[in-house]
Amino acid sequence: MALSLARGPLPAFPAAVRTTGIAAQVRRAGGAQGTAAWHSLRALALCAAGVAKARRRSVRFCCGTVQAEQAEKLVPGLRLWPGFLSEAEGEQLAQFLDTKEPSWTKEQFGVPTLYRVKHFGILGSLRPRVVRLPDPEKGEVDMPAEGIMAEVAQRLGQPGLPWSKVLKGFQPNEANVNAYSQASSRLLLHWDDRGLYEEPVCSVTVQGDCVMTFRLGGRSNLKAPEAGDGTDEAPTVRVRVPPLSLLVLRGAARYEWQHGIPETEDFLSERRTAIIFRRVRGADQAKARQAEGLLSGAERPHLKAMVISTNWPDPEVSAAGRVTSGRLRVLRRLAGEERGPSHSHPRPGLGTLKGSCQRQMM
Ligand SMILES: O=C(O)CCC(=O)C(=O)O
Ligand SMILES: [Fe+2]
């Protein structure tokens, strides 16, 4: 394990943040566009401030893999508990996931994933922005009320356990299962969308072993680092996530550090399966709307997501205009490599709000 003390340059932010002249111009422009642009600038400034603060707290970055205790110190808000599941529970869960509905897919939010996925519970989507209950007619499955999945979900919020003070009665309303294969899977660095999900993100490793990478800051979700773009100098912590463990991300680990398993070599076993438990925001309203709909016999209602999807530090600020088509291109290329030639060739360059998808997982 190689740990060095280093103070790298801040990741590059658009000149707009540093150039007060531009901010002033935007203000003067007025109108809806001017206001939106001003909010975007403010979000950028807040993001830069958040990164700077996190850097003051932890200026180390490392190349090797650190132990869990060290990772917890370097990445505030990261917690890892080995032995969250027993071996028998891991096997039981793996069998449940392999044999029971819903079926596996290789797509999420309309974007190809480089691993198999299945989903239980509330569905939150970013394009279109809706929060809705699972629809059995579409093969969608709710969070199981009994059995091994239910037991494990319930254990997260149970009092008197090592993680209870951290998770404070956490009750997930969705579980997303990622099944990775060492031969072809990757999980590009990303933040879980802060508008769609509440704070805690809990990953329970059902089987398999990996090294997860945490990288401070960054400008956009799921961006493959490019030579010279500064992201390779950002503080980086790599930690082994053992089988049967519980990984919790809150605070800076959730909002300031991206996480991922970006290289196939980071998978230390042929297969790895993890269940990611979260709470989708707006689920209660979705339930209420559905109850109303059922009473009146109306079509199954969808609740528009009430929150703006953003990973910037200020949750009130829209992430409109974020650069995302580049990421989509990387994804499609990677997925295409695995499945043969891709049919779509998105335009290179900047994305727009229409093309924006904040939490595409690869
Ligand atoms: O595989 C994991 O443990 C984490 C997956 C993840 O970060 C995600 O699906 O958002
Ligand atoms: Fe994630």
Which CATH number is 107's domain given?
A: 2.60.120.590
Q: How far is the CA of 190 from the centre of ligand 2 (A)?
A: 6
Residues with CB under 6 A from ligand 1: 176, 178, 187, 192, 203, 259, 274, 276, 361
CB atoms within 10 A of CB 136: 11
125 and 31, same structural domain?
Answer: no
Supply the pLDDT for residue 35: 42
Q: How far is the CA of 275 from the centre of ligand 1 (A)?
A: 8
Task: State which residues form the domain around 70.
Answer: 61-282+319-339
Q: How far is the CA of 146 from the centre of ligand 2 (A)?
A: 26
239 and 128, same structural domain?
Answer: yes
Supply the pLDDT for residue 10: 30
118 and 44, same structural domain?
Answer: no
279-305 pLDDT tens trace: 998 888 777 777 776 655 444 444 433
170 and 45, same structural domain?
Answer: no
Domain count, the chain: 2
Q: Kindly state whether residue 354 falls inside one of the protein's structural domains.
A: no
328 and 277, same structural domain?
Answer: yes
218 and 79, same structural domain?
Answer: yes
Burial of 273 (0-12, 13-18, 19+ CB in 10 A): buried
Supply the pLDDT for residue 233: 76
Q: Kindly state whether residue 173 falls inside one of the protein's structural domains.
A: yes
Confidence tier at 264 by pLDDT (50, 70, 90): very high
**Closest C-alpha residue for ligand 1 atom 10:** 192
216 and 84, same structural domain?
Answer: yes
ipTM above 0.95, yes or no: yes
Q: How far is the CA of 354 from the centre of ligand 1 (A)?
A: 25
166 and 93, same structural domain?
Answer: yes
User: Helix, strand, or coil here: 249?
Assistant: strand
Q: Which atom of ligand 1 is nearest to the CA of 205?
A: 3
120/152 Cα distance (integer angstroms): 13
Strand ranges of the sheet holding 271-278, from the earlier edge strand across to the other edge: 78-81, 246-249, 201-207, 271-278, 174-181, 111-121, 105-108
Best mutation site among 118, 178, 267 for ligand 1, i.e. most ligand atoms within 8 A of its Cβ? 178
269 and 140, same structural domain?
Answer: yes
Query: CA torsion angle for 161, 121, 286, 157 (degrees, to 10)?
Result: 0
DSSP letter, residue 139: T
| Backbone conformation region of residue 282, classed left if phi is above 0, alpha if psi is from -120 to 50, else beta | left
118-165 pLDDT tens trace: 999 999 876 666 788 999 999 999 999 999 999 999 999 999 999 999
Q: Kindly state whether residue 291 falls inside one of the protein's structural domains.
A: no
Q: Kindly state whether residue 293 falls inside one of the protein's structural domains.
A: no
128 and 32, same structural domain?
Answer: no
Q: Do residues 65 and 2 make contact, with C-beta atoms less than 8 angstroms apart?
A: no
Q: Kindly state whether residue 86 falls inside one of the protein's structural domains.
A: yes
Tokens coding 281: 């925001």
Supply the pLDDT for residue 79: 98
Of 55, 318, 19, 85, the C-alpha closest to 195 is: 318
181-236 pLDDT tens trace: 999 999 988 888 887 889 999 999 999 999 999 999 875 554 455 555 555 678 99
Q: Do residues 110 and 127 make contact, with C-beta atoms less than 8 angstroms apart?
A: yes
Q: List alpha helices for 216-314, DSSP H.
A: 251-255, 283-296
The predicted model gives 338-353 an average pLDDT of: 32
The predicted model gives 235-256 an average pLDDT of: 96
Supply the pLDDT for residue 338: 46
Contacts of 278 by beta carbon, 8 Å cutoff, 6+ apart: 172, 173, 174, 176, 192, 197, 198, 200, 201, 202
Supply the pLDDT for residue 221: 52
Confidence tier at 250 by pLDDT (50, 70, 90): very high
Supply the pLDDT for residue 17: 29
Q: Do residues 269 and 181 make contact, with C-beta atoms less than 8 angstroms apart?
A: no
Give the percent of the chain with pLDDT over 70: 57
Q: How far is the CA of 252 from the centre of ligand 2 (A)?
A: 14
32/314 Cα distance (integer angstroms): 19
Q: Kindly state whether residue 298 falls inside one of the protein's structural domains.
A: no
46/316 Cα distance (integer angstroms): 12
Mean of per-residue pLDDT scores for the chain: 72
Supply the pLDDT for residue 108: 75
Best mutation site among 276, 277, 279 for ligand 1, i.e. most ligand atoms within 8 A of its Cβ? 276
Supply the pLDDT for residue 25: 39
Query: DSSP string covering 50-92, please?
Result: HHHHHHHH--EEESSEEPHHHHHHHSTTEEEETTSS-HHHHHH
**Least trusted range by pLDDT, from 50-59, 248-257, 315-324:** 315-324
Supply the pLDDT for residue 135: 92
174 and 155, same structural domain?
Answer: yes
Q: Do residues 301 and 282 make contact, with C-beta atoms less than 8 angstroms apart?
A: no
Interhelix angle 87-99/148-157, nearest 10 degrees: 130
Supply the pLDDT for residue 113: 87
Confidence tier at 330 by pLDDT (50, 70, 90): low
115 and 103, same structural domain?
Answer: yes
Confidence tier at 3 by pLDDT (50, 70, 90): very low
Q: Kindly state whether residue 139 falls inside one of the protein's structural domains.
A: yes
